[in-house]
């Protein structure tokens, strides 16, 4: 199990860091993070622990590109529909 810990004597600064860190972790599709656990801290600081693990294999959705379209953007010559540029998605290396 992998744990991330946010520990500081300055509680306000720790809360500010968590306000940035937690949305980033939740938006990351390669990781799964547990709910943060606040631990007691002598002196009023902040101690927070999160369990983090790799997410399962990502789900990939592919659209067919060989199906004729009845309407769509036309090229400047008025011929066949212009092809859309598509980004290639890269999967993380297997580990």
**Residue ranges per domain, the chain?**
2-54
| Residues in CB range of 2: below 8 A, 6 or more apart | 51, 52, 53
CB 74 within 8 A of CB 81: yes
Q: What value, to the nearest 5°, has the Cα angle with vertex 70 and ends 69 and 75?
A: 75
Structure tokens given for 60: 């990939």
d(CA 30, CA 7): 24
CB 37 within 8 A of CB 58: no
The pLDDT score that the predictor gives to residue 37 is 93
The pLDDT score that the predictor gives to residue 84 is 58
pLDDT in tens, 46-90: 999 999 998 886 566 677 777 666 655 554 555 555 555 556 666
């Amino acid at each position: 199990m992998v744990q991330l810990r946010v520990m500081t004597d300055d509680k306000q600064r720790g809360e500010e860091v968590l306000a940035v860190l937690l949305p980033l972790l939740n938006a990351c599709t390669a990781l799964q993070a547990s709910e943060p656990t606040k631990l007691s801290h002598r002196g009023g600081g902040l101690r927070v622990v999160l369990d983090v693990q790799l997410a399962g294999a990502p789900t990939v959705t592919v659209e067919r590109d060989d199906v004729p379209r009845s309407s769509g953007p036309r090229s400047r010559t008025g011929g066949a529909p212009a092809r859309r540029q598509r980004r290639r998605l890269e999967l993380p290396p297997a580990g």
